[in-house]
Amino acid sequence: MLRGTAELSLLVLLVAVVFGPILAERFGIPGIVGLIFSGTVFGPFVLNWVGADSLVEDLGSIGILYLMFLAGLSFDIRAFFENRRSAVLYGLLGFFIPFVLSVWVVSQGESIEALGALLIGAMWASNTLVAYPEVQAAGLQGNRGVSAAVSAGVVADLLSLTVLAFATATAVIEIDSIELPFGDLPFDERIVELLRPEGVEPTTIDPLLPLWLGLPVLAVVCLWILPRVADWFFVRVGRVRVERFVFSLAMMAAGATIALLGGMEGLIGAFLVGLGMNRLVPTRGPLMERLEFVGTSLFVPAFLVSVGLNIEPAVLVEVETLGLGLLFTGFVVVGKTAAAVIVGLAFRFSRHEIGVMSSLSFGQAASTLAIAQVGENLGMFGQNVVNAAVLAIVLTALLTSYGTRYFIRRVPRPAADDLPLGEQLLLDARETGSDLEALVSFTTGLARSDGGLVIPFGIAGAGTDGPATRLAVARTVEAVSATGLDADSAIRVDDSFPDGAVSLVEEREASALVLSWSGPRRVVDLAFGSDIDTIGEQCPVPALAAHLLRPWTRVVAPLGRTVTEWDRDDARLVLDVVGRLRSSSVPMIISTNDPSLIPGSFEVGDVDVRIVDSGWPDFDEVQPGDLLVLPTHAIGGPPDEGARRTSRLLERTNVVVVGGPHRLSVRPGLGRRPLTGTMSGPTPPRQEVE
């Protein structure tokens, strides 16, 4: 009596989501298999509490869109471009090897024609990242094997759906060519209904655009137009996370809808929108946490439960179904593993990275089911193929879950030193002389290039006013949000500001620390030091002391006289900083005595590279409106100028002092070697800058 009601469907779904994975884990079975099995138990072929056309099925359709959207949002673009050759090669091999293998084997029989064989090949050349949440939990999104697997999924799904579009278009052409016995009539909807075979239903709406035009339009809209709309909304309207959350879901739905209008599956549009919004939603930010929470707690589990609704246990144990299911599983395992081994050997991946890459690609679900259902509806193969496809989906779910879990335990998580500079920035929210707007503009400029998160922080205690600290942090968070980026906050109670700041670096796994600096105080700094020196000596990640007074019209980066390897490391760090500011389109002057430090990308565009003995530009050229970015060993300024004049220059100019781990110091004329270094060879002695 209650069957088919929204209330019962929702109750069954929530019970399955809660208890399915728990019971599965008790028996050593992956949680995703427990969700699929729950759908089978409650589905129409066992208890029949939930039908295949119920609320669960609708939420499952949203779930696969959500899964692909999250994959695009968390896709590490930097890691992809660093390993783009291996990623693209694995994407192509990961499609063509199982595709060719499947088509060749299926073509040996006589029961399936050419178009049906192509569809079966497309079914097992695609993949769905059902085990991707395991990778996210392990913090391995940026691993090159994971990046290759995600890229392969995108390439394989695009190519598989292209094959699907070609096969269905060809089938329609064959129907169109039938000579009608009642004359040459317009082929309107009524005639389509008369000619449609019994049980055949369209899986998508009729496309408004042909595939060759729809795919470029989809890419432009999802990767260029919608991200700019989202950026405008985040800056102008949606400053509250709830608003940003709902708007992000609207963007996902918009991308999926546009894909349908172009004759493609909505999951492709959802992924591309996620990719386009990648830099607007930091991977470890609060907005991403909310998106992941909703997805992994409801929508993605609903998708897995909905897969189980299509499983008929009695059919799965038939000999023909078992044989075909094992054959299809073999296509996936052999094809994906062969592709992973070829790419891994070619690019010298470790065997565990090869394992992660292949096992993550085993998962089959959305595209496979969609292609199987279309092939059956068009009469290209029978129900036995669909049943075997469902069995293969269950088997590959087991393989991808077990395999991914096994290998991610053996792949090291990237250390904080290996993180991009702008991925997780701690920003000092103290009011110490820097202009808040300028400080936030500089910090968000660093974070934006990496799609990073800015965390304004304050330290209460040791005589510090707690309410004032919270107010300063809240004001800084609001200023960061006004730029369109996501921001978190951190307030720590500690005995001193340096101890609290260093502890937060460890707790939040920061990639860099940006400190608000009141500017040079030569006598005081030389005699007593400063909090920045204390933090710089203990900080295990790059640290920056920022004295920013106003917006800047030019960036000046003197790299100083690079005497030791520590000096060269800090000079490279300065180049990393100013390289991230190039998007602001302000001219730059870089001065160095070592041309080998300058990367090729700085030799073009609006960058003026000057080779000078001291590593400084002409002293008279430094203006109050400049942004002076210099390594910590160059804080004393050029040797041919008086210390007092240098100090006055730094007091009235925007200055950022950059130091590597354990090296930041703002004491004029003093360089510091790190307490714990990464350089090989003997530790250089403590040096005074000339």
Q: What is the token pair recorded at 531?
A: 């909090």
- Give the pLDDT of residue 633: 84
- Give the pLDDT of residue 462: 56
Residue of 565, 556, 561, 562 whose CA lies nearest to 589: 556
Distance CA 399, CA 405 (A): 10
- Give the pLDDT of residue 239: 75
Which residues face 558 on adjacent strands? 591
- Give the pLDDT of residue 606: 66
Other beta carbons within 10 angstroms of residue 272's beta carbon come to 27
**Polymer length in residues for the chain:** 690
CA distances from 537 to 51, 210, 490, 634, 663 (A): 64, 62, 22, 17, 6
Phi, psi of 431 (to 5 degrees): -90, 90
The model's confidence at residue 111, banded by pLDDT at 50, 70 and 90, is: confident
Phi, psi of 510 (to 5 degrees): -70, 145
- Give the pLDDT of residue 414: 62
Lowest-confidence range among 454-458, 580-584, 611-615, 676-680? 676-680
Residue 569 pLDDT greater than 60, yes or no? yes
Residue-wise pLDDT tens digits, 320-332: 889 999 999 999 9
Residue 598 pLDDT greater than 90, yes or no? no
Distance CA 81, CA 62 (A): 30
Q: Kindly report the average pLDDT of the chain as a whole number.
A: 80
Distance CA 678, CA 51 (A): 60
Give the CATH number of domain 65-178+203-298+318-408.
1.20.1530.20
- Give the pLDDT of residue 58: 87
Phi, psi of 31 (to 5 degrees): -60, -35
Lowest-confidence range among 383-392, 570-579, 666-675? 666-675
Pairing, β 554-558 against β 512-516: unpaired
Residue-wise pLDDT tens digits, 208-253: 677 677 778 888 999 999 999 999 999 888 877 789 999 999 999 9
Distance CA 96, CA 582 (A): 40
% the chain with pLDDT above 90: 25
263 CB-near residues (< 8 Å, 6+ apart) = 165, 204, 207, 209, 210, 211, 214
Task: Identify which has the larger pLDDT, 686 or 611.
Answer: 611
Q: Which 8-state DSSP code applies to residue 446? A: H
Edge-to-edge strand ranges of the sheet holding 512-516: 490-493, 453-460, 424-428, 512-516, 543-547, 654-659, 626-631, 554-558, 588-592, 607-611
Per 3-state DSSP, the chain is made up of helix, strand and coil in percentages (nearest 5) of 60, 10, 30
Other beta carbons within 10 angstroms of residue 385's beta carbon come to 24
The model's confidence at residue 685, banded by pLDDT at 50, 70 and 90, is: very low
Residue 678 pLDDT greater than 60, yes or no? no
Q: In terms of C-beta density within 10 A (0-12 exposed, 13-18 middle, 19 or more buried), how is residue 553 classed?
A: exposed
> What is the CB-side half-sphere exposure of residue 226 using CA atoms within 13 A?
29
Which residues face 454 on adjacent strands? 425, 487
Residue 185 pLDDT greater than 70, yes or no? no
Residue-wise pLDDT tens digits, 194-208: 444 444 444 455 666
The model's confidence at residue 679, banded by pLDDT at 50, 70 and 90, is: very low
Other beta carbons within 10 angstroms of residue 665's beta carbon come to 24
Distance CA 552, CA 653 (A): 9
Residue-wise pLDDT tens digits, 388-446: 888 898 889 889 988 998 998 888 876 545 678 888 999 999 887 788 999 999 999 99
- Give the pLDDT of residue 387: 81
Residue 14 pLDDT greater than 90, yes or no? yes
Residue-wise pLDDT tens digits, 474-528: 999 999 988 888 889 999 888 888 999 999 998 988 999 999 988 776 555 555 5
Residue of 574, 622, 620 whose CA lies nearest to 594: 574
Q: What is the token pair recorded at 291?
A: 């998106």
Three-state SS for 426?
Answer: strand
Q: What is the largest CA-CA distance in the chain?
A: 103
Distance CA 113, CA 348 (A): 41
Q: What is the token pair recorded at 427?
A: 């920003």
Residue 375 pLDDT greater than 90, yes or no? no
Task: Identify which has the larger pLDDT, 685 or 86.
Answer: 86
Q: Where are the beta strands (DSSP E) in 574-682?
A: 588-592, 607-611, 626-631, 654-659
- Give the pLDDT of residue 19: 93
Distance CA 323, CA 232 (A): 54
- Give the pLDDT of residue 98: 93
Mean predicted confidence (pLDDT) in 459-476: 82
The model's confidence at residue 657, banded by pLDDT at 50, 70 and 90, is: very high
Mean predicted confidence (pLDDT) in 181-199: 46
Radius of gyration of the chain (CA): 29
Residue-wise pLDDT tens digits, 35-47: 888 998 998 888 8
Residue 587 pLDDT greater than 80, yes or no? yes
Residue-wise pLDDT tens digits, 255-294: 999 888 877 778 778 888 998 998 888 877 888 888 988 9
Other beta carbons within 10 angstroms of residue 508's beta carbon come to 20
Distance CA 664, CA 395 (A): 54
The model's confidence at residue 187, banded by pLDDT at 50, 70 and 90, is: very low
